[in-house]
Amino acid sequence: MYHRFVLLANPTDGSASLSWRAKCALENLGHTVFWFDSQRHPFLFSKDGEAADITPLARFLERQQPDGLIVADGVLLTEAQRNEAMSLASSMIVMTLDELCDRPLIDDTYLATPLANTIAYPPRLICLQDATPKRIEALRTLAPTAKELKLPIRCTGEGWPKEWQTDKSLWNGFVYTSRSAVAQVHFTGEGAAPQENLSLLTEADGAPVILWDETSENGAPAAERALRDLVAKGLPLQSRRLAAWRDSGADFPTLETAISSAIDRLEKPEPGRSGLSGTGSPRTIISILGYFGMGNYGDELILDTLDERIRAAVEGSSVVAVSENPQHTLVERGIYAITLKDIIAVDRALAYSSAALVVAGLLFDQGIRWTAGKAETFTSARVSDIPGIVAYASLAAANDTPVVFHGIGAGPLEVLDGRQLVKLMGRQGALFTPRDRETGDLIRSCGVPASQVIEGADTIFLTADETAEPPQPAATSDAPQLPVAISLREYENTPADFPARMAHALDIVAEAHPDARFAFCILDPGDRALAEKVIAVATCKQQCSIQDYGNDLSALTAFLKGARAGFSMRYHSALVISAAGIPCVGMDYLPKVAALYEDLGIADLLVPPTATAEQCATALRSALENADAWHATLCAHIAPLQAASHRAFDLLLERIENTRPAKSGIIPAEFFLNSRPFSHRRTANLEKSLAETKAERDALKAECAQKDKEIAALKKQMKEASTSRKRTPRSIFRAVKRRTAGK
């Protein structure tokens, strides 16, 4: 069986930490691991990284229903937290990493993993402990011998001289240090813990330990003899160490074997205890890039829909969202997320992914005006807009992961660089299933082969009702109220007096339909201010309200589908309302809106951004008063859009099925010098540096204040001196005058 695990960890040795190696081993066995550490997810951990908070994971555990939760690296969960976690995921088992790795073992996969950039790390002598004056002096006595043997000394702890320190900003510096070590010096004696900072992985590497008794005068000669002896033996290094372990006949299982055996035991527990549940299919990961995590209704709804549909269609599958705000996506949507800025995590996710999706209306180049254009994809500048999408798609291609622009919307594409970048993604083999005909034409016009642009529709049509119910009759004085969903947004091509125009339009409709109730729906946090401006100006403000469901997508969707009509400047509110067979007036502020209304057959309900109040009111009255006719038109156009959406989804599933066998087991990996998925020590150093900088700033402020006082005192003296000089001539003149008068 295959399982989906949540792993809470606080690693200190980067990829040489047992928790990270266990994660890799589980993935090599075909399992899925949702990794949470205090570096990427500080909101889940206490400051020291030891105590975890389950509460932010509530939505995630409830939605994903993982099979097991593992805590590692000293991370603690209280009994109440364990019970809370298991109540959210009913069949989940909570365990420690010790239960999986409870015996001596050899991590042969780690030992056999190639080292990239090894020229930067020649064979060396290492020490993993923190410095003390006595230890520094001890290593100085050994330094001439190490130099003679061409072994640089490298220390990973705190307080060592600069020439011996490893670069702690590099996440895998420890990996290189231990893998290329001829030996490690370990100080023992009074005040030194027997296993202080001694990594189990270093022992598994086969790097011998030279014990140095700090209380003995023979420590230095003994260490020197041991070091010369080890070098004389020509100890096997790196990949040859694995063969040495195997030839030694040591009866140690591999890490994968040990973990597999532990999982087998957990699947068949003792009587009275629940077993580890799972599926018959190995891991399948699908990465999805979009404008997620910012509270925008349409983008959040698309991610929510795809996560549910993919997991239902593909056994053993999980979604990784590439989000603008991973914390929001995790906490509010219950979907595991990373950010495009964490390119190392994106690379690893794509290595395991059976498909890389780009969704929603991201292919427009208005944003490219504040980027470096296509040059940005090949520089160290911040990736954004289309260049960021290209970086994601290119990295997917480098990982042999098919890229699908699913239900994508495009336009405008007016900037040459934007069009060239779309063409580049086409050359890399990306498949486009655009959400409307105009987007398809626009993508083909960029030079993407027609065979890679397949007719599709918006993802929301996957959830549209097969048969939309006709609207209720228009309200009378004795009938129920008429709910009208209003969705407005600030946009650059609307006139300055738009709030007044909109308010007047609603007043006109309210006069014709006294039972109309205008509900301003907040689909994005920025929508509220404009809604409040319109209500403040409207005469019919007693018929107006604000509907803000926050992050509750289901409640907002249900409200939109329950409206009698709509007026929308938000693409996805218009889409959800119209897909339910309800007429919705739209505002043509972007080409994608015009394309949607054309596909829905209701282009006559579209008004320009400069529309007068009367034009807006006329369109909204038509939606209310001719609801039956609009409903019939919508139903005739919705069916083919639903079919196109399902065809596009089937194409996506086909690519996933074709790719997933190659992505279900061991994924080749290397250790690179500049990779940094962990940077705990770097973070600690930065915090220390920040504290020192603040102290320097405060000292400079105090010094400046003192200088200001001195300057003020000097100015006062100068002023007094100036006054004195001005008075002196007058006094001399008076004295001379008196003397002259006396003569």
Please name every residue paired with 88 in a beta bridge, in sequence order, or none if there are none: none
Which of 100, 102, 97 lies closest to 75, judged by CA? Answer: 97
**Which CATH number among 1.10.3470, 2.60.120, 3.40.50, 1.10.3210 corresponds to the domain 1-105+256-280?**
3.40.50
Average model confidence (pLDDT) across the chain: 84
Give the per-residue pLDDT at 236.
43
Burial (CB count within 10 angstroms: exposed 0-12, middle 13-18, buried 19+), residue 412: middle
Burial (CB count within 10 angstroms: exposed 0-12, middle 13-18, buried 19+), residue 705: exposed
Q: What is the pLDDT of residues 655-677, one digit of tens each?
A: 999 999 999 999 888 776 533 33
pLDDT category at 370 given cuts 50, 70, 90 is low
Give the per-residue pLDDT at 115.
67
Place of tokens 């490690």: 184
**Which CATH number among 3.40.50.2000, 3.30.930.10, 3.30.750.24, 1.10.760.10 corresponds to the domain 108-248?**
3.40.50.2000
- Percentage helix, strand, coil, to 5, in the chain? 50, 15, 35
pLDDT reading at 203 higher than 90? no
Domain definitions of the chain by residue range: 1-105+256-280, 108-248, 482-641, 679-743
Please tell me if the domain spanning 1-105+256-280 has the same topology as the one spanning 108-248: yes
Q: Which residues contact 99 (CB under 8 A, 6 or more apart)?
A: 262, 266
pLDDT category at 240 given cuts 50, 70, 90 is very low
pLDDT reading at 478 higher than 80? no
Q: What percent of the chain has pLDDT over 70?
A: 82
CATH class of 482-641: alpha beta
Phi, psi of 322, deg, nearest 5: -95, 105
Which of 588, 572, 569, 570 lies closest to 580, judged by CA? Answer: 572
In the predicted model, what is the mean pLDDT of residues 201-230?
Answer: 78
pLDDT category at 245 given cuts 50, 70, 90 is low
pLDDT reading at 369 higher than 80? no
Q: Which tokens go with 618? A: 């006329």
Question: How many whole angstroms separate alpha carbon 47 and alpha carbon 156?
Answer: 22
**Residue of higher predicted confidence among 495 and 129:** 495
Q: 417-421, 438-442, 706-710 — which is least confidently predicted?
A: 706-710
Its pTM surpasses 0.85? no
Kindly report the CA angle at 41 between 693 and 101, in degrees rounded to 5?
A: 115
